[in-house]
Amino acid sequence: MFKELIVVLFLIVSIGFAKGIDKNSSKDLNSSDKNSSNYEKSNIQKAIENEKKFEKEQKFYMGEDYNLSQHKVDQKTIDKVKAIEPEYDFDITDVYAD
């Protein structure tokens, strides 16, 4: 009886702790990315306007008809992407050990 109570208590505490971490991390993301979310919303709005224009015209465009300069990626957006560092600590010697 005592063991089950400890297990249930541990599960409740761990679930509560996990939910608290999720809330804190989402608050940090929301507070730091307000400018980028506005930037994304404006880009989405521009894309929607372009799609409405294409729907209205109903024309197949050829390569020379496209203005590809409007699809260039902003360097500020690229700088915000975090680099993923590789993990070099993998040791294959224990993988095939019997």
For the stretch 28-67, pLDDT in tens is 555 555 667 788 888 899 999 988 888 888 777 777 777 7
When the pLDDT of each residue in the chain is averaged and rounded to a whole number, the result is: 77
What whole-number distance in Å separates Cα of residue 42 and Cα of residue 47? 9
For the chain, give the longest Cα–Cα distance: 76
Could you tell me which residue, 32 or 8, shows the higher pLDDT? 8
Average pLDDT on 76-91 reads 84
State residue 30's pLDDT score: 55
